[in-house]
Structure 1
Amino acid sequence: MSTTSLTFRTATEDDIPGLVDLVEAAYRGDASRAGWTTEADLLEGQRTDPEGVGAAVRHESGRLLIAERDGELIACCQLEHRGDHTYFGMFAVRPTLQGGGLGKTIIAEAERVARATWGAGEMRMTVIRQREELIAWYERRGYRRTGELSPFPYGDERFGVPQRADLEFELLVKPLG
């Protein structure tokens, strides 16, 4: 995959509709099945909405990082400075572009930004523990499972409609050297 025309920037209010579309396509419904990983079998309904993306765009201690190729929005991730670490979330790569190395490039840039902007010593994220293939991908990038679990927000359809009763998040961490 060529990354010669790949550019990164911080999202603005004008990006919110495109970001909602990207995140929804990457996580839910039939569109997400074009990629190598999806939550479509675990959750239905929405993954985010304009309010959620807008909150990430406007967050005082963070940024929503966008990756574009030739001016087209193809990936994003949320970075939130939390003291000694940066939280990584809302990671989305256009499903038809998954599996070609783009995700590795995005996460490396996110880690670079966390170190350069906030001096973060660690990146943290939460992943639905049932997404074993995704957790394995993160482990290959240097993240480790902590065994620290937190409940899925059942009953809050802003985060989706669970298709099983045992969903929970696991904290993954990576030291940033």
Structure 2
Amino acid sequence: MAVLNIHSRRLAADADQVGALVDTLTGPHDRLWPGDRWPVARLDGPLGVGARGGHGPVRYRVEEYEPARRIRFRFNGSPNIDGYHEFTVTPDGDAAVLRHTLAGRPRGITRLTWPFFYRRMHDALLEDLLDRAERELTGTVATPARWSAYVRLLRAVRARIAPATAPPRSPVGS
């Protein structure tokens, strides 16, 4: 089973503005990642090739980085998927397209958890991220994403299993 999951949004800003926003990812002034709603994305150093980190149980390292245009993260270990996820910024007339692509092959239990858990949570997180990008660049979101009832249920179950009061797991060094 192969996974190819793509989320994109055309944003009313030029590619340099969108790229500058993407370049804040995982930094101390991250304006892109929806860390107020999802586990915070962190790296063990500045955004650049070789930096390692993750968010929640997901671990990766920066494999390729073209400032303001492309960041590719290679999964390394958890959640048992061989592959990558990346952000790209593409000019589109007087706007730009921000795209996130996840491509890989799940292994072990992830062959079951991807379709029933990870994919739905991933989809909701990415739509929240794209909403944040649109809001940061334009001041508003034309059509805000809404979590499905299933995503709300998954988040409620996860909150009971791992309450927010528990100390966060360190994403670095894994």
Q: Same fold (TM over 0.5)?
A: no
**Normalised TM-score (structure 1):** 0.34
**Normalised TM-score (structure 2):** 0.34
Higher relative contact order (CA 8 A, sep 6+): 2
